[in-house]
Amino acid sequence: MTTEVGSETEVKKDSEQVGQDKAKGKPEEASETPGNDKSRKASSEETQDSPVPAPTSPSSPSSQKKEKDSSESKGISRFLPPWLKKQKSYTLAEPKDEAKKRATGEEQIAEEGESHPSEGVAQPKRSLETVAENNAKGDDKEEKHSVSSAETQPAKEDGKEIEVEKVTEEKEEKEKRETKEVQTAESIPQKPPKKIKTVQCKVVLLDGTEYSCDLEKRAKGQILFDKVCEHLNLLEKDYFGLLFYENSDQKNWLDSSKEIKRQIRSLPWLFTFNVKFYPPDPSQLTEDITRYFLCLQLRQDIASGRLPCSFVTHTLLGSYTLQAEMGDHDPEEHRSDYISEFQFAPNQTQEMEEKVAELHKTHRGLTPAQADSQFLENAKRLSMYGVDLHHAKDSEGVDIMLGVCANGLLIYKDRLRINRFAWPKILKISYKRSNFYIKVRPAELEQFESTIGFKLPNHRAAKRLWKVCVEHHTFFRLLSPEQPPKSKFLTLGSKFRYSGRTQAQTRQASNLIDRPAPYFERSSSKRVSRSLDGAPMSISDQSLLRDFHTTRGQPGGDKIIDLEAAGQAKLKEGGIEDDGSPLKTPQLELIQDGKDLDKTQDDLLKHQASISELKRNFMESTPEPRPNEWEKRRITPLSLQTQGKKGDHIFQVKTLPGKEKQWTAMPSIAGTKPEETDRKHASRAEGSCTEVSNADKSSHETLDIVEEKKQAEVGIEETLVIDETNKGKIQVATDAGETCKVEHLTKKDSSSLPSDSSSSSSSESEDEEVGEYQPHHRAVEEVIREEQEEEEDVKRKEHEEKIQHVEATPEGSQLTVPAEHTQVAAEDLVQENTTTIPAEEKNLSEEIKQDLYEEKEEEQLKLNGDVSHVDIDVSPQIICCSEPPVVKTEMVTISDATQRTEISTKEVPIVQTETKTITYESPQFDGSAAGSAGVLLSAQTITSESISTTTTTHITKMVKGGVSETRIEKRIVITGDADIDHDEALAQAIKEAKEQHPDMSVTRVVVHKETELAEEDED
């Protein structure tokens, strides 16, 4: 928290400073001042300083709400631009509050995410920050304050979402507090206690000149970007971005919404201003100056060989360049060799220059702007125009290139296009370690989607590619940016989303540009181009950067680690850092806007089909011995019912490997009224990443969260590339027992010492191992299937690599971890139905799971399932609580609950097992009332966390056969280094849970221990 607070402060300062700077520098442009939000908008300026690109409208609701919430929040806050409010509130956020906030945080987030799918405008910039851990609160806060309070509000509005009043209250309190804070901040605007540290920052512009400025150390990318654009007098700036290079050949886009420092780490503050999104039709750009910069970029691209052209095209484009930069050909002035000072092509020949000169003569009379336009008209038709290439290997290890462009993803082998996936065809984009996956809509006659995997050189490359895809999809296909992933619950992975304006938005904004065409000087492209060597087409040309690198001689590597380590520490403290942390929510959904609806619409409708249908389909698609899988995935989120879909909500939880040292304890507490709902294995072993997707989108409820930030970076090597998983039915067969699997992953990238875990994980902080993005989020079915497929595939294969199960004894007695592998990654898959009830305890939350499946089957699967599976010596621990917690509930009917199995649990002796598996379940689980469907009254999930533990509580209240039953399921994740006594922590957690619910019984304890070096980890 400390960290966070600090950074926030900084941010605030920044924005203020920026505002001031701008005001000073450009008095005319009053609109640019942060305070003047409206005018800004009107002028179509980007309000990029703030994470909130949002229109003013959102701010009003928020302020209203605040007022309502607390008397304290009045006046000024209302007039503050949302970002200011937010920042301030952050600044003042008290650690104490955190806890409470945390408790509610996740839920809120979940709600926000789902309830406002349409609120594209508001872009929580911080999505990444929240990242791992259940630091959701941080995110929460931001979101609330930022952009629009709408997020919070909707949640409340949803009567269907069963919110416990307590929760609501808490929220409100929080809000009050926040508002207050805001005010305070207001009154003392320049309060920033710290002295401002500035850093000199250099940006290489497209004309080869260098722009430098001083930036506050904590400045976000947006600030720098805005400064550069202002310097360039560029209004249509959404097509552009700032690049920084690592290793001199890996280019990264500076994320505007995050602190620069966190992104570049130890790299020099050196950037290049580049075109990020190549407009497919440059003639639609509003201003000539924008086209000019695009031309400069393309000239670089062409001269460097990145954008291949034929000889003829080289000469033609070269001639337009000459016309634009030198004007009409003048035989007197232009000697025969004038042309050779320019570089038009990677390999320029005398012959080419002669032809360029000849053509130049034919352009007489064209103005520079016209010449640029002609240049662009020709350049845009080049097949590689706007294609961002990435090296990869296909499933067979063949070198290929993946090209991301406005229309989708192109696959090249050498120079041949061997496949193409238009955005509408892509259901999901994800990465996991160094693998990049796309899930593709089934072809006309095909029944199933397929997942295609590619192997990237390393996981950073995979993440980079993924981000580029997310950004391109959003920019070119959506009307407005998508909200960041909703719940942080079960998901791990990157929450990254494109936060800028989309092409549609920027075009709209451009239409409002009302200024005389700015004068600008066209500098000769000689300078720039000459320095460029013809680089192979796929490689970005970084000659410029290299120079810088060398000059500055920054050996990035070592330092990075340090930084990361530091970051990690912060994370532990509860602070949320954007980049670095491994994100828990890898699941990105691609939302297709109206544009996309063409094909998608149908699909969506289909998806909305009844669950039973889905189920059937699912079964068909996964013909294997794990019919339960489907069931498991089905969750009946109570709150979802609001959406009119009764009872059929599907949650998917997926855990991906990559956790390090993590203890997950899952004591389930079941209220014993009628019958106990069944439970599923909370941790289904596999995974470091958990993903929960709510099929419906309506509301999300997630159950567990086991991810740690550490997880984030695990350089786990996965050798397999999954190809068309759907078709591989085979896999399924093998999969049956997956529930208990723990994958052992070998980590190559990162140091794998347990002690290092923090640092190593942090080192990759920027690179989450997993990320997912789904273009069509409403398609429940798709989501689900995808998950499954991926899981299966991945699991299976990984699984085979090595699986290690770690067992822990319930009650925190002892955790035995057989650790032979350097690294053990446990994947936790939890798919359960859950509901949540507000928990009063910060650290403990109760989780209630309701499984739709039948326990028996499941268990059987486990037992008989995979060979690779470590067997399950499950010693179930069951705690019965006779008194169900009181939860305020709403009546919800679940139509499809028939499949649910109830398990009654009684006290079960706690048994210690040495199995590698972490799941303890009471044998009695299968019991009782299988097949009886209940009426779900309410469900709630609460998450809270303390330094070393994260607790998620799910409370479900059901009525079955006239008897009401409340189940509370609590998941406690204890994370920490070896120095933490996990057993004790676990015991403590259980104890606390018991105190809370005296009558409860612990039915199951699942412990995952994940360490990099198992040996060392053993306590």
Partner 1 sequence: MGRGRAAGGALSAARAGGGGSRAEPGRSDPPASPRSMAGLGGGPAAFGRCTHAVVRALPESLCRQALRSTPGPEVDFARAEREHQLYVGVLRGKLGLQVLELPADESLPDCVFVEDAAVVCEETALLTRPGAPSRRKEVEAMKRVLESLNLNMVEMVDENATLDGGDVLFTGREFFVGLSKRTNQRGAEILADTFKDYAVSTVPVHDSLHLKSFCSMAGPNLIAIGSSEAAQKALKTMQQMSDHRYDKLTVPDDAAANCIYLNIPSKGHVLLHRAPEEYPESAKVFEKLKDHMLIPIANTELEKVDGSLTCCSVLINKTSEL
Enumerate binding residues for partner 1 (CB under 8 A).
281, 283, 308-313, 315-317, 355, 358-359, 362-363, 373-374, 377-378, 381-383, 407, 413-420, 422, 443-444
Whole-angstrom distance, CA of residue 508 vs CA of residue 183: 34
Whole-angstrom distance, CA of residue 612 vs CA of residue 814: 43
Instruction: Concatenate the DSSP letters of all residues of 201-246 into one string.
Output: EEEE-TTS-EEEEEEETT-BHHHHHHHHHHHHT-S-GGGEEEEEEE
Q: Are 8 and 90 in contact (CB under 8 A)?
A: yes
Q: In this complex, which beta carbon is closest to partner 1, that of residue 233 or of residue 349? A: 349
Minimum distance, C-beta of residue 726 to partner 1, in the bound complex (Å): 18
Q: In this complex, which beta carbon is closest to partner 1, that of residue 371 or of residue 878? A: 371
Q: In this complex, which beta carbon is closest to partner 1, that of residue 363 or of residue 821? A: 363
Whole-angstrom distance, CA of residue 856 vs CA of residue 919: 15
Q: In this complex, which beta carbon is closest to partner 1, that of residue 366 or of residue 806? A: 366
Minimum distance, C-beta of residue 475 to partner 1, in the bound complex (Å): 17
Name the β-bridge partners of 359.
none
Minimum distance, C-beta of residue 34 to partner 1, in the bound complex (Å): 39
Residue 432, CA atoms < 13 Å, CB-side half-sphere: 34
Minimum distance, C-beta of residue 378 to partner 1, in the bound complex (Å): 6
Minimum distance, C-beta of residue 361 to partner 1, in the bound complex (Å): 10
Name the β-bridge partners of 958.
936, 965
Determine the 3-state secondary structure of 436 from DSSP: strand
Q: Are 470 and 497 in contact (CB under 8 A)?
A: yes
Whole-angstrom distance, CA of residue 571 vs CA of residue 765: 10
What's the token pair of residue 991?
């104890």
Q: In this complex, which beta carbon is closest to partner 1, that of residue 336 or of residue 864? A: 336
Q: In this complex, which beta carbon is closest to partner 1, that of residue 68 or of residue 413? A: 413
Closest C-alpha to 388, from 292, 274, 497, 306: 306
Minimum distance, C-beta of residue 293 to partner 1, in the bound complex (Å): 20
Minimum distance, C-beta of residue 414 to partner 1, in the bound complex (Å): 5
Closest C-alpha to 464, from 429, 499, 490, 489: 429
Orientation of helix 2-25 relative to helix 221-232, angle to 10°: 10
DSSP E strands in 266-364: the ranges are 270-275
Whole-angstrom distance, CA of residue 231 vs CA of residue 391: 34
Q: In this complex, which beta carbon is closest to partner 1, that of residue 450 or of residue 944? A: 450
Q: In this complex, which beta carbon is closest to partner 1, that of residue 337 or of residue 358? A: 358
Q: In this complex, which beta carbon is closest to partner 1, that of residue 18 or of residue 359? A: 359
Whole-angstrom distance, CA of residue 773 vs CA of residue 787: 12
What's the token pair of residue 689?
């990443």
Minimum distance, C-beta of residue 374 to partner 1, in the bound complex (Å): 6
Q: In this complex, which beta carbon is closest to partner 1, that of residue 414 or of residue 558? A: 414
Residue 947, CA atoms < 13 Å, CB-side half-sphere: 11
Whole-angstrom distance, CA of residue 984 vs CA of residue 972: 13
Element (H, E) at 565: helix 556-573
What's the CA dihedral at 771, 776, 779, 783 to 10 degrees? -20
Minimum distance, C-beta of residue 409 to partner 1, in the bound complex (Å): 12
Minimum distance, C-beta of residue 768 to partner 1, in the bound complex (Å): 31
Residues of 101-120 as b/e, b for ≥16 C-beta within 10 angstroms?
Answer: bbbbbbbbbbbbbbbbbebb
Whole-angstrom distance, CA of residue 526 vs CA of residue 876: 74
Owner of token pair 């009332």: 929
Q: In this complex, which beta carbon is closest to partner 1, that of residue 209 or of residue 349? A: 349
Q: Are 1008 and 889 in contact (CB under 8 A)?
A: no
Minimum distance, C-beta of residue 505 to partner 1, in the bound complex (Å): 22
φ/ψ (deg, to 5) at 931: 85, -15
Q: In this complex, which beta carbon is closest to partner 1, that of residue 38 or of residue 364? A: 364
Minimum distance, C-beta of residue 110 to partner 1, in the bound complex (Å): 37
Q: Are 169 and 77 in contact (CB under 8 A)?
A: no
C-alpha 566: how far from its chain's center?
Answer: 22
Owner of token pair 């401002």: 196
Q: Residue 499: what residue type?
A: S
Q: Please report, for the chain, how many H helices and E strands are present, in that order.
A: 30, 27
Name the β-bridge partners of 941.
954
Minimum distance, C-beta of residue 418 to partner 1, in the bound complex (Å): 6
Q: In this complex, which beta carbon is closest to partner 1, that of residue 409 or of residue 692? A: 409
Q: In this complex, which beta carbon is closest to partner 1, that of residue 317 or of residue 824? A: 317
Minimum distance, C-beta of residue 275 to partner 1, in the bound complex (Å): 19
CB atoms within 10 A of CB 369: 16
Q: In this complex, which beta carbon is closest to partner 1, that of residue 61 or of residue 308? A: 308
Closest C-alpha to 958, from 641, 704, 675, 694: 675
Q: In this complex, which beta carbon is closest to partner 1, that of residue 414 or of residue 514? A: 414
Name the β-bridge partners of 432.
435, 770
Owner of token pair 């104890």: 991
Minimum distance, C-beta of residue 427 to partner 1, in the bound complex (Å): 16
Minimum distance, C-beta of residue 308 to partner 1, in the bound complex (Å): 4
Whole-angstrom distance, CA of residue 694 vs CA of residue 690: 13
CB atoms within 10 A of CB 60: 14
Whole-angstrom distance, CA of residue 868 vs CA of residue 805: 10
Q: In this complex, which beta carbon is closest to partner 1, that of residue 18 or of residue 302? A: 302
Q: In this complex, which beta carbon is closest to partner 1, that of residue 202 or of residue 420? A: 420
Minimum distance, C-beta of residue 355 to partner 1, in the bound complex (Å): 6
Minimum distance, C-beta of residue 353 to partner 1, in the bound complex (Å): 13
Determine the 3-state secondary structure of 968 from DSSP: strand
- Find the angle CA(598)-CA(116)-CA(641) to the nearest 5 degrees: 90
